Amino acid sequence: MQRILYAFVILIAAGACKLQEQDNPLIIGTCRDGIKNQDEEGVDCGGICPACPVVLQPGQAAVSPCHDDLTRYTVSFNGKPTTISSTNMYYSEPSISYSNYYKFHVTMPNLSGEMEIWLSPDLEPKKDRIYNITTQPVSAGLKPGFAYISYENSREYDYYYSGNSGDRLYMSIKSNTVTFEFCDVNMFDDDGKNAGEIDGQFSYSFGPETACDGSVSENQLLLFDYASSFSTSAILYSAPKTGANYYEYRVNLSSYYSPNEYFYIRLSSDSKPTSDRVYTLGESTAASSPKAGEAYIAYCYDGTCLYTGKTGDKLNMTVLDDAILFKFCDVDLFYYSTDYTSVSGVLKYKL
């Protein structure tokens, strides 16, 4: 009986201990336990764990140590430079449906290859930041403050990936242009063997954020830098119904690119479109309905559709005596998670 009581007291005492206490030999520290233990500098980072996120001090710029040795729009792998074009870059944002990271994709035609930079989804790439480079993330995505780099040279069948080597990615922002710099980043093959180092510098421009009032006429779309006009009678309206819980305004554009081409606006069903309103454009799929206060825009041709995403773009709706007027400016359209193009337009639907 005394032994049982003694064991019971020990269990209670153990349960009362805090997990952060390091003198308990029964607690085995890991880099995923949410505790600052082992020789970590922060919770699950530093020491034997991946490096802790870097916090820039006020006025500190995200400039790489090898800045003066880098050539713009050039990526070098094991000392072999490759020039890349600003026109061969694509940007995609985190998507609930497809990916939980910001991605910058660079194609390198001369190598029949490509390079990708993935950034953690905790902050938009809108200000200077230094990322710790890590290995390929799991499906849950990247931890805050981390980035991942992949490199492919299809001509030589080379596929390489960054690892947990303490390397860093430097991102600086000027106007609407983001610039990446990286120095001697260790890359690994499919077997986990160190295959060499990569360094480089390139920039991606998000384009000017300008108002488009006056640049688009009534009942006109500006898409792929091409203006397409249509008549008021070409706009079809449908109210919410079973299986389609939204207000829809659809335009047939069959005279534009293909016979099966159209554009539509879908409004949330929380209120009728009877008064002026500004909608936030949300992430869309063909089968989804907008959330309260949100709208979707989509452009479709030959069975392929481009949809709005989580970019904060707006749709302005003005209700007139005899019509409803929709205006939208430089709205990003996505193909899956890739920012494919932008669209501006003015639609006037006759009541």
81-109: average pLDDT: 77
pLDDT of residue 298: 92
pLDDT tens-digit map of 216-242: 788 888 887 677 888 888 899 999 988
CA 209 to chain centroid: 18
303 pLDDT tier (thresholds 50, 70, 90): confident
The DSSP symbol for 244 reads: B
Q: What is the mean pLDDT of the chain?
A: 81
| Long-range pairs for 185-192: beta carbons < 8 A, 24 or more residues apart | 185/133, 185/149, 186/162, 187/77, 187/149, 187/151, 187/160, 187/161, 187/162, 187/163, 188/135, 188/160, 188/161, 188/162, 188/163, 189/158, 189/159, 189/160, 189/161, 190/159, 192/163
Picking from 284, 261, 273, the residue whose alpha carbon sits closest to that of residue 331 is 284
pLDDT tens-digit map of 237-296: 999 988 789 999 999 886 545 668 889 999 999 989 999 899 989 887 666 788 888 999
* This prediction's pTM: 0.54
DSSP assignment string, 187-238:
EE-TTS-EEEEEEEEEEEE-------TTTS-TTEEEETTEEEE--GGGEEEE
